Amino acid sequence: MSCTRPDGTSSFGTGWLFGPNDVATAAHVVYSQENGGYPSSIIFYPGVNNSGSIVGASYKATIAVLPATYQSERDETKDYAFLSLNYNYLLKYQI
């Protein structure tokens, strides 16, 4: 996934789907006090191949859960975040 920060910088990180439109990641991927706090946009890419090329579509995401103690105290035991996609990804791949 990629995050655009309020100060214009970007960061990249990993995440994984744990529900039809739910992504788990690390809080430090989506929150940076040094770069303005919450990202102005988050884009989730379900797949990237060995050459770093994006496989498939991309989806906008919003932060659903990010512990307050991570933000205020940088508590490393709270370095997690849950995101919500703007798309029910698993509907596309129903078995």
pLDDT for the residue 31: 94
* pLDDT tier for residue 95 given thresholds of 50, 70 and 90: very low
Q: pLDDT for 32-87, tens place per residue?
A: 999 999 999 999 988 777 787 777 778 899 999 999 989 888 888 999 999 999 87
Q: Residue 79 CA to chain centroid, in angstroms?
A: 13
Q: CA separation (Å) from 12 to 66, 67, 92?
A: 17, 20, 25
Placement of tokens 């655009």 in the chain: 4
Check pLDDT > 80 for residue 92.
no
- Judged against a pLDDT cut of 80, whether residue 90 lies above it is answered with no
Q: For position 89, what pLDDT does the model report?
A: 57
